[in-house]
């Protein structure tokens, strides 16, 4: 035990004896009047939701159309209130909050329990993090990879995954092999077959996105992870866009590691996320605690997730507010949120095709919800060559904000199957639970007007 913990033990014992453990809200208890007016669980269809009232629960500016939850979500008013309250509670007794509070403290005991329930896991297999980037780095740098070891990934991955792999290639001499992904993504079996064909005796890890940041394609996670298990390879999944959008059951995906964020589709605070470690007690992958302040003094057999959790001062109030964001999602209904966000994306895809033709859509085609997400990437032009013109796409995105207060972003990806070394650029729109079809229509209409100029 560290000296600080010894010196604080008397204070902690006194405080713990009189403290109240927070009862985390469930779908029935976490309901301010606004949520009650939006969700009618007694309706004849089983779960009627007034999505307009859901939007009113968020502090988004009324004159703004915000379509970028894939970068950052918002936070509902109720969550902002609780987050402020948690910060005041922390500030009232800082040392107890850090060293001993079961919800704010360094072990994050209660928050890990609640987060694990939200993703269908057990507490021991979950470590709370700052974001997806932290979780991916914990795994990439913590695995005992050596020179010549191979990591298979794809050409549509985010820099949060590619950056640590690139560092490992430079420092340890591993080989990072990026498999091309067709855009639009339409054949999950072909992707699994490509990974299978690329596995060699030196392959140690397959690392890929659940939902790609580039086009919102949903990869066949279970099939890829089953392939990895069958071949004795570790699977690492970038789930940045899944938490809060999809109704997740992480153990059912058969992945070894899964990293995700709380600030995007979950609409939690910045600097929140989680890392799932399958069977952390066994730690079959021999993951090392590369970010921890307990590794040098821990007892043999200490859970790898416990070691990674104790890494100095966590944002206890923020992580606690992330749990409230999970409860908020449960109140509305995770399955209903997933259906709503994909329904809006389907509407966006149809409008893109109606306006510019099928070739303008880079996301999976409408009618394939199994491949789709709340992200839609498209070219605001019927001329495919304009996808190679970064300035054109960026100018449309900038004008959408400057003239119409519509916020979207650009995205980019390799031109495959053309495979001529070119990079394609597109608009990426995120349809979250606080958006509606009218906003999607406005996006397409205004983008078409700008692109004609």
Strand duo 39-40 + 48-49: pairing: antiparallel
Beta-carbon contacts of residue 326 (< 8 Å; ≥ 6 apart) = 114, 115, 118, 266, 268
Q: How far is CA 136 from the centre of its chain?
A: 12
3-state secondary structure of 175: strand
Which strands sit side by side in the sheet containing 375-378, from one edge to the other?
A: 375-378, 423-430, 409-414
Looking at residue 6, what is its pLDDT? 29
Looking at residue 24, what is its pLDDT? 34
Looking at residue 258, what is its pLDDT? 98
Q: Where are the alpha helices (DSSP H) in 143-273?
A: 159-172, 188-198, 221-230
Give 3-state DSSP helix, strand, coil % of the chain, rounded to 5. 45, 15, 40
Peptide bond before residue 417 is cis, with ω within 30 degrees of 0: yes
Looking at residue 22, what is its pLDDT? 34
* The residue to which tokens 């009862």 are assigned: 23
Looking at residue 3, what is its pLDDT? 33
Tokens representing residue 169 in the block: 């290639």
Burial (CB < 10 A; 0-12, 13-18, 19+), residue 30, is buried
Buried b (16+ CB within 10 A) or exposed e, 338-359: bebbbebbbbbbbbbbebbeee
Beta-carbon contacts of residue 295 (< 8 Å; ≥ 6 apart) = 289, 307
**Segments of the chain scoring below 70 in pLDDT:** 1-47
| Domains defined along the chain, listed by start | 109-329 (3.40.640.10), 335-451 (3.90.1150.10)
Peptide bond before residue 184 is cis, with ω within 30 degrees of 0: yes
Q: Quick one: residue 224, left, alpha or beta (phi over 0 = left, psi -120 to 50 = alpha)?
A: alpha
Burial (CB < 10 A; 0-12, 13-18, 19+), residue 167, is middle
pTM for this prediction: 0.91
3-state secondary structure of 83: helix
């Amino acid at each position: 035990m560290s000296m600080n913990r010894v010196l604080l033990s008397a204070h902690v014992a006194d405080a713990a004896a009189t403290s109240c453990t927070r009862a985390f809200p469930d779908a029935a208890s976490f309901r301010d009047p606004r949520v009650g007016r939006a969700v009618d669980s007694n309706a004849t269809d089983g779960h009627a939701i007034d999505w307009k009232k859901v939007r009113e629960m968020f502090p988004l500016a009324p004159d703004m159309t915000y379509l970028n939850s894939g970068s950052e979500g918002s936070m509902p008013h109720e969550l902002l209130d609780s987050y402020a309250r948690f910060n005041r509670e922390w500030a009232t007794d800082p040392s107890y909050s850090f060293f001993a509070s079961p919800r704010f403290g360094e072990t994050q005991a209660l928050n890990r329990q609640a987060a694990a329930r939200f993703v269908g896991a057990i507490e021991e297999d979950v470590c709370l993090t700052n974001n997806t980037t932290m979780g991916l780095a914990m795994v990439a740098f913590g695995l005992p990879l050596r020179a010549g070891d191979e990591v298979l990934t794809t050409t549509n991955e985010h820099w949060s995954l590619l950056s640590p792999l690139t560092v490992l290639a430079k420092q340890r001499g591993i080989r990072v092999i990026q498999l091309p992904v067709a855009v639009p993504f339409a054949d999950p079996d072909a992707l699994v077959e490509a990974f299978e064909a690329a596995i060699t005796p030196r392959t140690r890890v397959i690392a890929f996105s659940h939902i790609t940041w580039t086009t919102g394609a949903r990869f066949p996670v279970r099939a890829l992870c089953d392939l990895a298990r069958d071949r004795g390879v570790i699977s690492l999944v970038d789930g940045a866009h899944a938490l809060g959008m999809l109704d997740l059951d992480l153990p059912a995906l058969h992945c070894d590691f899964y990293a995700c964020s709380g600030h995007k589709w979950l609409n939690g605070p910045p600097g929140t996320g989680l890392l799932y470690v399958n069977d952390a007690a066994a730690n079959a992958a021999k993951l090392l605690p590369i970010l921890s302040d307990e590794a040098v003094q821990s007892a043999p057999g200490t859970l790898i997730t416990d070691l990674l959790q104790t890494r100095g001062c966590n944002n206890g109030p923020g992580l606690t507010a992330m749990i409230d964001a999970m409860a908020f999602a449960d109140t509305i209904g995770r399955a209903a949120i997933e259906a709503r966000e994909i329904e809006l994306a389907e509407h966006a895809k149809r409008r893109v095709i109606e306006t510019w033709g099928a070739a303008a859509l880079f996301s999976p085609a409408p009618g394939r919800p199994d491949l789709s997400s709340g992200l839609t990437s498209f070219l605001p032009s019927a001329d495919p060559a304009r996808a190679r013109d970064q300035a054109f796409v960026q100018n449309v995105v900038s004008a959408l904000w400057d003239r119409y207060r519509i916020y979207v972003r650009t995205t980019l990806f390799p031109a495959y199957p053309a495979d001529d070394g070119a990079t394609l650029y597109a608009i990426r729109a995120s349809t979250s639970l606080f958006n509606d079809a009218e906003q999607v229509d406005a996006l397409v209409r205004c983008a078409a007007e700008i692109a004609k100029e």
